A and B are shown apart, each in its own frame.
Chain A
Amino acid sequence: MWLSILGLILGISLGLLTDIQIPPEYANYLSIAVLASLDTLFGGIRAHLQQVYDDKVFVSGFFFNIILAAGLAFLGVHLGVDLYLAAIFAFGVRLFQNIAVIRRIILAKWAEKKQVSETHS
């Protein structure tokens, strides 16, 4: 768990310290990619908690979602339809659902633990 947080901190500090910038016209794609990756991440956490985690699904989902979202946005720009909204909507809804499920699972686990400690005492 701490390893993951270390990875996050490392990534953020590397990004901030190197001061990499992308052209503003591509900022849209990056924001969608960030959203997609967050969706995958929470999906992975949920799957892990539900004991259905699969390595291949997780990693392939990460890259596939990013590429799909960016591709959709790209297509939208060229067709003049705001297709990236579709990606934002889909990922947003799923993000909330996943987080809700994670919350329920953690709450359930917590309640279970409490019950167990109460019965023991």
Chain B
Amino acid sequence: MKRKIFSRFSIILFVIGLMTAIQYNTINEPDDRDTRDVWEIRQELSREKQLHSELLSEVGLLDATLSKYEEISSESPEQALKDTVEELRGLAGLTEMTATGIEMTIEPSAEAVAFGEEIDYIAPDLLIRLVNEINRNNGLYVSVDGNRIVNTTAIRDINGLTTVNAIPIQTPPFKIKIASNSMEDTEKLYNHLLSSRILDDFYIDNLSVEISAPQEQVTIEPYAKELNYRHLQIAEEE
């Protein structure tokens, strides 16, 4: 009898202990405190505002496309679709692009040549930095030694050779072509690159960069291979 009572008590105490522990867990859950100061919040706000304006401009663009469709659809819907496809292919980097731009020539620096050093390598990291720098400053279309930079482009070291799109680039000197939408953008990019610290980074690697003045016509080669969208999936509509 006594044993039975204690077994009952143990079960009840077990349940009580469990409930108390769960309550303790729930109450003592560490809440994430917002420790950002005003400045960080302002930065966050400005980021969000930028996103907002980007989204708005995208909406405007899509609206324009829509109205174009509506205009043309009565006449020739096929032509409208073809135009769009061509436009998208251009944006994706599958077509040759001629626009205002600049040409950069990367060559061994005069000092290295004077010392008789043989420069036959450019580090992928350096090239990535340069491309990022260009992308950040309105360089819309870029090709490195004839290899078009597209969204899926990888710049990396393969067996000791620096490759772009898995194609080894020449030993320096080689050319980088950059084009953007307007002369104004091109000039901005040119001025930015001239004052950029990236040139010093090249100099450390015994490379010198020569940047041509903005030109009216720079032709950027198309992306040479098939675009690989193995991992792309159609997004589900919400």
A: which residues have CB within 8 A of B? 1, 3-16, 19-22, 24, 27, 30-31, 33-34, 37-38, 40-41, 44-45, 48, 53, 55, 58-59, 62
B22, CB-defined interface residue at 8 Å: yes
Q: How far is the CA of A14 from the CA of B21 in the complex (A)?
A: 8
B237, CB-defined interface residue at 8 Å: no
Contact A53 B5, beta carbon cutoff 8 Å: yes
Contact status of A4 and B17, CB under 8 A, knowing A15-B25, A24-B26, A30-B22: no
Residues of B within 8 A of A38 (CB): 16
Residues of B within 8 A of A37 (CB): 12, 15-16, 19
B: which residues have CB within 8 A of A? 4-27, 29
Contact status of A7 and B22, CB under 8 A, knowing A12-B17, A37-B16: no
Residues of A within 8 A of B4 (CB): 55
Q: How far is the CA of A112 from the CA of B98 in the complex (A)?
A: 108
Could you tell me the dominant secondary structure of chain B's interface residues? helix
Contact A34 B5, beta carbon cutoff 8 Å: no
Contact B5 A12, beta carbon cutoff 8 Å: no
Contact A58 B8, beta carbon cutoff 8 Å: yes
**Most A C-beta atoms less than 10 A away, residue of B4, B7, B18:** B18
Q: How far is the CA of A38 from the CA of B16 in the complex (A)?
A: 7
* B6 touches which of A3, A12, A40, A41 (Cβ 8 Å): A3
* B13 touches which of A5, A21, A30, A33 (Cβ 8 Å): A5
Contact status of A41 and B8, CB under 8 A, knowing A24-B26, A34-B23: no
Residues of B within 8 A of A34 (CB): 16, 19-20, 23
The chain B residue sitting closest to A10, CB to CB, is B14
Contact status of A15 and B22, CB under 8 A, knowing A7-B9, A53-B5: yes
Q: How far is the CA of A4 from the CA of B17 in the complex (A)?
A: 11
Q: How far is the CA of A7 from the CA of B23 in the complex (A)?
A: 18
Q: Which 6 A-B pairs have the closest CB atoms?
A: A15-B21, A11-B17, A7-B10, A11-B14, A12-B17, A7-B14
